[in-house]
């Protein structure tokens, strides 16, 4: 199960995402996009960056639980939102 995106990320450039959340745990090219993934013990944040006029920007993002059991998706969104708010931006 996936949850709605974190609107704070939408439209950001890669450097802005890194400033907010640090380096991703995984980067996977999927032309014309790139998937960045951030993980903690319980949750995963998928960030989808798409090329726009030669520059990548976040088009959408989703959080999900890392476990097979039905996720507590609200807590995953809150966890990454809290991390973003505590960053230096």
User: Does residue 33 sit within a domain?
Assistant: yes
At how many degrees (to 10) do helices 73-85 and 14-21 cross?
Answer: 100
User: Does residue 19 sit within a domain?
Assistant: yes
Domains: count for the chain: 1
Largest separation between any pair of C-alpha atoms in the chain? 40
User: Does residue 84 sit within a domain?
Assistant: no
Q: For the chain, state the CA radius of gyration.
A: 13
15: which residues sit within 8 A by CB, 6+ positions away? Answer: none
User: Does residue 86 sit within a domain?
Assistant: no
pLDDT at position 69 over 70: no
Can you give the residue range of the structural domain that contains 15?
Answer: 7-77
- Give residue 5's pLDDT band: very low, low, confident or very high (50, 70, 90): low
Calculate the average pLDDT of the chain. 82
pLDDT at position 67 over 80: no
User: Could you tell me the CATH number of the domain that includes residue 73?
Assistant: 3.30.1450
User: Does residue 85 sit within a domain?
Assistant: no
User: Does residue 1 sit within a domain?
Assistant: no
The predicted-structure confidence for 33-52, as pLDDT tens digits, reads as follows: 999 999 988 889 999 999 98
State the Cα–Cα distance between residues 72 and 55, nearest whole angstrom. 34
């Amino acid at each position: 199960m996936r949850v709605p995106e974190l609107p704070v990320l939408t439209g950001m450039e890669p450097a802005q995402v890194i400033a907010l959340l640090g380096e991703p745990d995984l980067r996977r090219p999927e032309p014309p996009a790139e998937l960045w993934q951030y993980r903690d013990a319980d949750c995963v944040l998928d960030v989808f960056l798409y090329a726009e006029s030669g520059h990548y920007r976040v088009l959408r993002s989703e959080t999900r639980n890392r476990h097979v059991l039905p996720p507590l998706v609200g807590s995953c969104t809150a966890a990454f939102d809290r991390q973003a708010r505590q960053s230096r931006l």
